[in-house]
Structure 1
Amino acid sequence: MRKIIFTLLLFLFNISIFAQQAKEKTSLQLNNATLKNSIETLETESGYKFYFDEKWLINDTLKITKNYQEKSIDAILTDLLDETDLNYFIYDEKVILTKNTSIISDLEKNLIDLPSETNVKKEEIFTRKPIYLKQYDSIKPTSSERKIDQFSIGKESKSNSKKLYTLSGFVKNLKTGEGISNLFIKVKNSKRNTVTDNSGFYTIDLEPGISVLEFESVIFTKSTKKIVLYNDGKLNVNLKENINELDEVIINSKASEKIKSTVTGVTVIEIEKIKTIPLILGERDIFRVAAALPGIKNVGEGASGYSVRGGKEDQNLVLLDNGLIYNPSHFFGLFSAVNPFTTKRAMVYKGSIPAEFGGRLSSVFDITTKSGNLKKLSGEAGIGPVTSNLSLEIPILKEKSSLIVGGRLTYSDWILKSLKDEQLKNSQASFYDIIAKYSHKFNAKNQVETTFYNSKDAFSISSDSVFKYTNRLFTAKWDHTFNEKSKGELIFTNSEYKFNIEYDANNPRSFDFGYKISDTQLQLKLGYLYNEKHKISYGISSKLYGINPGNLDPKNGETILNPINIEKERGIESAVYASDNYKFSDKLLIDVGLRYSRFSALGASSQRIYQAGVPINDATVIEVKNYGKNEVIKSYGGLEPRISARYFLMDDLTIKASYDKTYQYIHLLSSNTTQSPTDTWKLSDLNVKPQAAQQFSFGIFKNISNPDLEFSIEGYYKKSKNFLDYKVAAQILLNENIETELLQGDGKAYGVEFLIKKSAGKLNGWIGYTYSRTFIKLDSQFNEEKVNNGEYFPANFDKPHDISVVLNYKFTQRYSLSSNFVYQTGRPITYPIGTYEYGGAEYTLYSDRNKFRIPDYFRLDIGINVEGNHKLKKLAHSFWNFSIYNILGRNNPYSVFFVTTDGQIKAYKTSIFAMPVPTITYNFKF
């Protein structure tokens, strides 16, 4: 085998020659051969002489098993070199291989047929100048870019008429091998740019020739790559962590990315960046950080549940690796049920909800777990006053598969005994959660991930009662890349939430009460990069619900209780969606999506039929209809259009607008003003309609690059139908005919959200302010189904004013001071305003529903953070946090309730943390 010298190639490339097409047939048998061995065998069998540079094949890992019978040299070479960057040219029983470039003769110029759908003339293709590196000498690297890596991508095609080619690939953490999401990629001296997706994958359309790509991130060292692009191709990039900048940004929502996207009301929370925020008992908590952002409010101190842009707690879709978590909290709502050490990030959508998500009206918390380290064993551990946490990242097959395992447990009894409330002081509580995620990369096109999660809480308010509740989740995802333009995900999920109350006082009232809800879902998500202007996504999903509404089993043989077993509920929710991210121009970007969802309540079930035109109660039942197993009881559905747009007024000033319509077929039933572990879920059926909402949003976004400030103001207006509420003194638990206690009406919410955020420098953080209102109208022609005379009244979570200030000041790379300030208007409440007599008995007279408010809430927290030294070669990297929660000792009310004693109505206020709570936590990575 001989090497051809480069000057001979140039000579052959520029002269006009006759390309003799080989007509001889050759048979070739290849079995697990390298490309070099295959070419050598073909040379021997065909008698043709091959010329190429052996360096091109030194690192070849392609194994070929083929059987060619009586094939031409052309056909064999075309097939062999299809997945390589090598071209070939045949002349007079000689084969010349070229790297990337293609040699074209004068005769070929006239013979080659163009694709019928193209309008490009042949002359326009073959008169293009060949790509030489020297013609791009004007692109000079800066002093910091002297050693830029250079890559040749793709190979020239004789029949390709495209003016732009697609470059794609993965950007990964060099240390762990994990994909880097939301990383900004720009082309130097060009307006072209893109952002990596959740798995670190990117695509970008470029002109043929040389381009310089810059990969930028706050927490990774900037990388610059020079590429010579001949055709569609791939480039994978590994980035090093920038240790010196670990805490520069608390929320990783890169300003330049935020103003360029079409999405309104979205925030990316990176869990590593929130460790400096002083939170209760030292626990990092995605949900509490989210609640410090405009438009998101917690429903109460020490309570689970969040209200997003005027929505109820059940209107938030909380996903962990695509699986649904029904109760994402521990310990009365004080801690998140999501382990911070194994969590990578959370995408919080509160405005424009992408068409791929459905089933909730207000928001999506899309939480992603880390992938394990593909290269070496690593981990993180933490010790706090209430919890301990440990996570391990274990490579299974180096560079191919990994496992991450994390677990938390609590020793929290001492904190309960320090509370003022006597019931809580004498109670006990504990929880644990475990999570494991396995990732395996089969090849460049196929990867699978599976996640298992389980959590359990147990608490006792008194010595004879125990409350237990658990979350369980399993997800499996198969990622497949079809080509540079198409990719897809097949996702299976199964979720379960259940609780149990055991009351054992050795008396006739002892009982065991249980409840369970589960769902199983299959989704197919596909993406297609049609061209530079159109990025299309589409998919289909189906979810099967199963609910055991509750069972009451007496525990004492001499019980006075009757066993209760509420009939199970089943339903199936399916959807199909498609969206197009359309780049109308450099200034205008539009995202148009359409989702169609359909829900069917399924048997076996018995459903009451009520008389029309009269109130729904036990006296108006006209029929009980029985449905068989899997028989459709009632179906609901509708179109859910989603549209959002971004327009550049200036390079750093954009306006955005969006419209969303959503349906929700499942409802949370709660007898409390705040969400609790014993709340139950109810599917829509013959007598309970699904909720629906429409939201309009508009925002203005402005960036100032120096001193790296971001300003935004967003306004929204939301209307909802079939908003669920309750009749006075409604009985929720263990009610076989729950529809007789429910009311459904209209809702409206509106608000304005302000945000000022500084992302870098010694002082960073944000100031957020929200003014918002939320109202409900429960109107009917019947007084018993009417509330507040059928007029709009404030919802339980209506808090007009909400201010959050989150700041971090870095004295050095190791020492920083953090603080939080929170102020909220007190939530609405119904007060007793007098008494009246009826039938010789005295009764309490209450005000209109939610006419008054509990006292306003405000709190100040401070924290001191100490990083370990930044030596690269050390066993572990440590982090200390010293914080004081509620440093002013503000007695913020958890709830206000009323008790009648000796004929007098007395008001009582319950507070969870009415004193400063100091915390010391120690975390370390290894």
Structure 2
Amino acid sequence: MKILLPFFILFSFVLFSRNACAQTTPEKKITMRLDSARFNDFVKQVESQTGYYFYYDASKFDSLTLDLDVKDLAIRDVLDQVFKGSEFEYSIDVQKRIYITQGQKIITQLIPGLFEPDLAGDNGTIAYAGPENDAKEKLLSTAESKLHEIGIKKHRITPGNSTITGYVRNAVTGEPVIGAAVFITSPSIGVTTDALGLYALTIPRGKQIVRIKSTGMRETQRQVMLYSDGKLDIEMRESVIALKEVSVKAGMDKNVVGTQMGTVKLTIKNLKQVPTVFGETDLLRTVLTLPGIKSVGENSTGLNVRGGSTDQNLIQYNDAVIYNPSHLFGFFSAFNPDVLKDVELYKSTIPAKFGGRLASVLDISSRDGNKKKFVASGGIGLITGRLTLEGPLVKDKTSFLLGGRSTYSSWLIKTLDNENYNKSSASFYDVNLHISHEINEKNSLFLTGYISDDRFRLYGDTLYTYQNQLASLKWKHTFNNRLYSVFTAAHTKYQYAMGAAGLPLNSFDLKFDINQSNFKADLSYVLHPKHTLDFGLSTIYYKLHPGSFQPKGPESLIVPDELEPEQGTESAIYIEDKFEVNPRLSITAGIRYSYYQYLGPRNVNTYVPGLPIEYIYQNGVKEYGSGKKIKSYGGPEYRASIRYSVFDNLSLKVSYNTLRQYIHLLTNTMTVSPTDIWKLSDNYVKPQIGDQISVGLYRNFRGNKVEVSLEGYYKNIQNFLDYKGGDSLIMNHNIEAAVLNTKAKAYGIEFMIKKMTGKLNGWLGYTYARTLLRAIDRESPDAPNDGNYYPSNYDKPHDFTLISNYRFSHRFSMSFNFTYSTGRPYTPPIGKYMIDGSQRVYYADRNQFRIPDYYRTDVSLNIEGNHRIKKLAHSSWTLAVYNVLGRKNPTSVYFQTVGGKVNGYQLSIFGQPIPTITYNFRF
């Protein structure tokens, strides 16, 4: 009886459907007028006039109002008018039931042709080609129910595998869906889409159901009849919530099943959940909440990743390197949140295609822009404002994205109760432009431009300016169903200037700039669905102008000075093999070989052989002509990682990396400064070489909704650069004599628990980490701490962060952030003495003291606009309080001599709560 019951229900449904269609009666017309009425009032009037009944989730419509004036219209015409341009869909069945859903249309009748004769041929499968999508809807349900025939149709399907390739795109905007899982369940085979939304799935020929999942998108599927290699593009809709609350998250098991470790992917949604200073969504400050990532101070966006210095991070925006990722000396990041798509951070297993930095890679991608319609969005806060425009240049083929951001913060500085501050000013702006163009199915072009400018005038005297400029052109080409490529050309320029005009006799201009041009080719060859080979090459040309010091005006007595330019090339080739041996064991192994040349023209200082590199031992200069090789370095860089699944929800991972770095940031300040000096490797400044081994355990709970990870690492760095005490780095013609080659070791443990679904979500992270340095020449008089190990400037052993978000309703949500860390080390003066009538200061051992520990609490409240369907713009308000407890966290410690006595002082940047309010809009 139980077996017959489903067939009975199905037969009754079909019979009733046909009878109902045969007995259709004329539909009643609707006449009504509503002014700012609640949706529930509209429903009652329709039900009373027509006999139809509505089924919907009332919580979605509690704040929705509508205006309506109709006369003698059919029910479908009224509903079309009500829901036009909204995210809601309606469906009507034969029993006069109206279902209202969000983003997804419910199928209320059986698929046409379900009981038609077999059209497939030998294999006995049902071949169904559903109704054509009409111009009005193009419903996703049609694409799901249709049988897609792929390849060259044959009378009989031969055994074996074929490859389906295509793009997964957002159905509303036309943008690629990155990291979407495309798979079949029997047998279990799957792949993920790349940064352009491209996938290549090799599966057995015949009838298959291909499923597609992605974070924040509704799960979809395609029925395919696979004859041979072919193409299938897929569109997905965003976060659908139908009659029941459903949330589909793809890749939630990647924490366990992925081979890479120490990799974090953040979406713009993650970034906007973290309360930040001045109410501006900040990419880098969000990254700083992750385990293993620190900053030396509150006013610095320089990243210290697993014991690395700030220059050991490769930060790139659409494949172009950015050298200074901050605005206003670290108070804001340089990235407009409205143009970003996602961010991927590699700190442990760094893919072989990346090189040139030791600590991490921060790969930032922008959105492509809406290919369907024109959209404007932006935000207005107390200190900054932003505006983004996007839309199609050629519908469904070419789109643009233009974003601008600026600050009007000078008014805030002038309100400070200090006469000197009243003469100060600060401002910045940045502009992003991105154009994407799909030439055909196998070729796409992407053009990106970015420029930023910062100006800060202190006390009306000294003006600091610095700019980032970058451009990149990317060509994505598909050779065939197995071989894919991305070719990229990019150029980056970073420059700073400092000008003092207070006293005409001492006025000056100081300038520095760095130019980098690079080309790279990245290719992927799919040997097998579970076996991929990545390979490619890259080359970089560097040109640095280390400094120009010039008098400002004819009255200035400043002596002109200019350092010689530096130039060099860095080239590399790589190959990396990704292989899933079996469901429990995956291996990734690769090698990258890099080669660097330091080139002329250049006059190179020479020193007395066998003696330390000191100013007093310089014995001459050696001249090199243009393009002549002065010095070269190179060597292999090994990458390997293994994942072993102990259970389905528990895995063990091990990775090993070797990396080389040929460009260095020289600084003798605690925080990152725009006036820090970049230096290429040369005869005396050797490339840094880092080796890192990591081990991690990963466990998921509650159906992959909760992720837990525990990672440990040990890192060894050769030729780590530190500074010698008392030496100046600016306009130094013997810069090699001012730096100290050290050996560094870093080790630590990172713990993280993350829940990204449900009303309450967020993450908790704890890090214990140490970074210790020791001079290579331990006998040198310049060796700190008598040649023994000493903490680095950013050595902060304990770090704890809690990020939590709670959604009260669809309109109201709240975020909470708590951060604690050990105070950073510093070196205080402990005495003074006289030498030849001159007073000298005696310092303690380097970095043997620490400033007080740091902790801070932030909260924010996000209020979405009402859910009225027809309105000019969708808007939201963000109210935030940074440092709710008003903790005076010391940023630095300094000392002054008063009355012959040395006194210590602490400087706090944000020593009180900072409330902010931001209005966000989208047309």
TM-score bucket of the superposed structures, by smaller chain: 0.7 to 0.9
In the TM superposition, what whole-angstrom CA distance separates every residue of 1:238-271 from its partner, at most 9, and x where no partner exists? 11122669xx999999431232211110111111
For residues 368-387 of structure 1, what are the structure 2 equivalents within 5 Å?
A: 368-387=365-384
**Residue among 263, 267, 283 paired with 2:264:** 267
**Residue among 291, 294, 304 paired with 1:294:** 291
Partner of 2:39: none
TM-score (norm 1): 0.83
Give the 3-state SS of the residue equivalent to 1:405 in structure 2: strand
> AA paired with 1:815?
F
| Matching of residue 132 in structure 1 with residue 129 in structure 2 | no
Q: For the structure 1 residues 549 and 840, does the alpha-carbon distance in structure 2 shift closer, same or farther, using more than 3 Å as the test? A: closer
Shift in Å at residue 874 of structure 1? 3.9
> AA paired with 1:352?
T
For residues 544-693 of structure 1, what are the structure 2 equivalents within 5 Å?
A: 544-693=541-690
Instruction: Decide which moves more: 916-925 or 187-196.
Output: 187-196
Q: Distance in 1 between matches of 2:786 and 2:515?
A: 39
Partner of 1:823: 820
1:722–1:746 contact (8 Å) kept in structure 2: yes
Instruction: Decide which moves more: 618-627 or 433-442.
Output: 618-627
Give the 3-state SS of the residue equivalent to 1:341 in structure 2: helix
Q: For the structure 1 residues 151 and 372, does the alpha-carbon distance in structure 2 shift closer, same or farther, using more than 3 Å as the test? A: same
Give the 3-state SS of the residue equivalent to 2:613 in structure 1: coil
Give the 3-state SS of the residue equivalent to 2:823 in structure 1: coil
Shift in Å at residue 134 of structure 1? 4.6
Q: For the structure 1 residues 799 and 259, does the alpha-carbon distance in structure 2 shift closer, same or farther, using more than 3 Å as the test? A: same
Shift in Å at residue 678 of structure 1? 1.0
Give the 3-state SS of the residue equivalent to 1:689 in structure 2: coil
Q: Distance in 1 between matches of 2:716 and 2:603?
A: 33
Q: For the structure 1 residues 385 and 190, does the alpha-carbon distance in structure 2 shift closer, same or farther, using more than 3 Å as the test? A: farther
Instruction: Decide which moves more: 683-692 or 201-210.
Output: 201-210
Partner of 2:475: 478
Partner of 2:801: 804
Q: What runs of 5+ residues in structure 2 fail to find an aligned partner?
A: 1-117, 129-140
Q: Distance in 2 between matches of 1:408 and 1:346?
A: 20
1:244–1:870 contact (8 Å) kept in structure 2: no
Shift in Å at residue 422 of structure 1? 7.6
Q: Distance in 2 between matches of 1:200 and 1:421?
A: 54
For residues 859-878 of structure 1, what are the structure 2 equivalents within 5 Å?
A: 859-870=856-867, 873-878=870-875
TM-score (norm 2): 0.83
Shift in Å at residue 176 of structure 1? 0.9
**Residue among 700, 704, 707 paired with 2:701:** 704
Give the 3-state SS of the residue equivalent to 2:440 in structure 1: coil
Q: Distance in 2 between matches of 1:252 and 1:338?
A: 27
| Matching of residue 415 in structure 1 with residue 412 in structure 2 | yes
> AA paired with 1:209?
G
Partner of 1:436: 433
Shift in Å at residue 889 of structure 1? 0.3
Shift in Å at residue 842 of structure 1? 4.5
Partner of 2:785: 788
Q: For the structure 1 residues 437 and 679, does the alpha-carbon distance in structure 2 shift closer, same or farther, using more than 3 Å as the test? A: same
Give the 3-state SS of the residue equivalent to 1:643 in structure 2: strand
In the TM superposition, what whole-angstrom CA distance separates every residue of 1:644-689 from its partner, at most 9, and x where no partner exists? 1111111111111100000000010113111011112000011110
Q: What runs of 5+ residues in structure 1 fail to find an aligned partner?
A: 1-98, 102-128, 137-143
**Residue among 755, 759, 768 paired with 2:756:** 759
Give the 3-state SS of the residue equivalent to 1:303 in structure 2: coil
Q: Distance in 1 between matches of 2:248 and 2:268?
A: 8
Shift in Å at residue 303 of structure 1? 1.5
Shift in Å at residue 834 of structure 1? 2.7
1:319–1:365 contact (8 Å) kept in structure 2: yes
Instruction: Decide which moves more: 876-885 or 796-805.
Output: 876-885
Shift in Å at residue 186 of structure 1? 3.0
> AA paired with 1:132?
G
> AA paired with 2:749?
V
Q: For the structure 1 residues 268 and 871, does the alpha-carbon distance in structure 2 shift closer, same or farther, using more than 3 Å as the test? A: farther
Q: Distance in 1 between matches of 2:798 and 2:785?
A: 24
> AA paired with 1:546?
K
**Residue among 163, 172, 177 paired with 2:174:** 177
Q: For the structure 1 residues 524 and 811, does the alpha-carbon distance in structure 2 shift closer, same or farther, using more than 3 Å as the test? A: same
Q: For the structure 1 residues 781 and 398, does the alpha-carbon distance in structure 2 shift closer, same or farther, using more than 3 Å as the test? A: closer
| Matching of residue 350 in structure 1 with residue 342 in structure 2 | no
Shift in Å at residue 571 of structure 1? 0.5
> AA paired with 1:639?
P
Q: Distance in 1 between matches of 2:256 and 2:872?
A: 41
In the TM superposition, what whole-angstrom CA distance separates every residue of 1:345-370 from its partner, at most 9, and x where no partner exists? 11111111100001000001100111
1:779–1:785 contact (8 Å) kept in structure 2: no
**Residue among 880, 883, 896 paired with 1:883:** 880
> AA paired with 2:210?
L
Give the 3-state SS of the residue equivalent to 1:776 in structure 2: strand
For residues 722-741 of structure 1, what are the structure 2 equivalents within 5 Å?
A: 722-741=719-738
Q: Distance in 2 between matches of 1:420 and 1:855?
A: 27
Q: Distance in 2 between matches of 1:638 and 1:559?
A: 49
Shift in Å at residue 161 of structure 1? 7.6
> AA paired with 1:216?
K
1:834–1:846 contact (8 Å) kept in structure 2: yes
Q: Distance in 2 between matches of 1:532 and 1:879?
A: 44
1:694–1:719 contact (8 Å) kept in structure 2: yes
**Residue among 215, 219, 224 paired with 1:218:** 215
For residues 70-109 of structure 1, what are the structure 2 equivalents within 5 Å?
A: none
Q: Distance in 2 between matches of 1:158 and 1:681?
A: 67
| Matching of residue 525 in structure 1 with residue 522 in structure 2 | yes
| Count of matched residue positions in the alignment of Structure 1 and Structure 2 | 792
2:340–2:365 contact (8 Å) kept in structure 1: yes
Give the 3-state SS of the residue equivalent to 1:785 in structure 2: coil
> AA paired with 1:270?
T
Q: Distance in 1 between matches of 2:224 and 2:584?
A: 27
Q: Distance in 2 between matches of 1:753 and 1:732?
A: 35
In the TM superposition, what whole-angstrom CA distance separates every residue of 1:380-437 from its partner, at most 9, and x where no partner exists? 1101111100001121011110111000010012333466888666521000000101
Instruction: Decide which moves more: 425-434 or 623-632.
Output: 425-434
Q: For the structure 1 residues 421 and 782, does the alpha-carbon distance in structure 2 shift closer, same or farther, using more than 3 Å as the test? A: farther
Q: Distance in 2 between matches of 1:419 and 1:772?
A: 39
1:219–1:242 contact (8 Å) kept in structure 2: yes
> AA paired with 1:794?
P
Partner of 2:36: none
Aligned-CA RMSD value? 2.4
2:748–2:769 contact (8 Å) kept in structure 1: yes
Q: For the structure 1 residues 872 and 236, does the alpha-carbon distance in structure 2 shift closer, same or farther, using more than 3 Å as the test? A: farther
Partner of 1:51: none
Q: Distance in 2 between matches of 1:870 and 1:839?
A: 79
Instruction: Decide which moves more: 326-335 or 412-421.
Output: 412-421
Shift in Å at residue 291 of structure 1? 0.4
| Identical residues among aligned pairs (%) | 42
Q: Distance in 1 between matches of 2:508 and 2:472?
A: 35
**Residue among 847, 850, 872 paired with 2:847:** 850
1:100–1:154 contact (8 Å) kept in structure 2: no
Shift in Å at residue 228 of structure 1? 1.5
1:153–1:230 contact (8 Å) kept in structure 2: yes
2:406–2:428 contact (8 Å) kept in structure 1: yes
Q: For the structure 1 residues 871 and 355, does the alpha-carbon distance in structure 2 shift closer, same or farther, using more than 3 Å as the test? A: farther
2:214–2:250 contact (8 Å) kept in structure 1: no
1:419–1:913 contact (8 Å) kept in structure 2: no
Give the 3-state SS of the residue equivalent to 1:415 in structure 2: helix
Shift in Å at residue 502 of structure 1? 1.2
> AA paired with 2:825?
P
| Matching of residue 340 in structure 1 with residue 337 in structure 2 | yes
Partner of 1:276: 273
> AA paired with 2:900?
G
> AA paired with 1:604?
P
> AA paired with 2:495?
K
Shift in Å at residue 868 of structure 1? 2.1
Q: For the structure 1 residues 421 and 157, does the alpha-carbon distance in structure 2 shift closer, same or farther, using more than 3 Å as the test? A: farther
Shift in Å at residue 557 of structure 1? 2.9
Q: For the structure 1 residues 227 and 521, does the alpha-carbon distance in structure 2 shift closer, same or farther, using more than 3 Å as the test? A: same
Q: For the structure 1 residues 253 and 158, does the alpha-carbon distance in structure 2 shift closer, same or farther, using more than 3 Å as the test? A: closer
Give the 3-state SS of the residue equivalent to 1:133 in structure 2: coil
Partner of 2:443: 446
